[in-house]
Structure 1
Amino acid sequence: MLLIIPLVLLLVLKLAEVSFFASMSWWWIVGLAVFAFLWFEFFERVFGLDKRQDSAHYEKIKQERIKRTFDKKTGRQ
């Protein structure tokens, strides 16, 4: 997400021809877009960042399920 926000912001400023960004080369925007694509398609997998987020999500679901089961067995609600 930290790559997408500056990319969209640069694109909007370039298209609106705001100040310095009007004369900025399109290669900056294209380069950032290519880097964002590579990051989300390849580097996240290489560094295991996609699995880390998935496992944290599933761990949270697991803990909630255990808590619900424990509450049912002890009669608490």
Structure 2
Amino acid sequence: MVEISEGQKRVRQGQMEVREKFEEISVEAAKGRSAANQLRLDLMFEIVKARAEKDSAKDAFLTQKLRSVILANVSL
């Protein structure tokens, strides 16, 4: 009976450790998604600004950069 109780305690402790690690990973993933979203928004804003200024070279460069950022996030 004592062995079963100790085994259950070890299992619970292991489950708590896994749960904590999972929560840490979830927080880090959310930070990464947030940073990626901010980068895309910044690029979109710069594209709109370049188009308003009729700077087609800058528009094309930023549009290509935005496409590569989006494709990089899709492949993850």
Task: State the TM-score bracket (shorter-chain normalisation).
Answer: 0.3 to 0.5
Q: Select the structure of larger CA radius of gyration.
A: 2
Structure 1 length-normalised TM: 0.42
> Which is bigger in relative contact order (C-alpha 8 A, separation at least 6)?
2
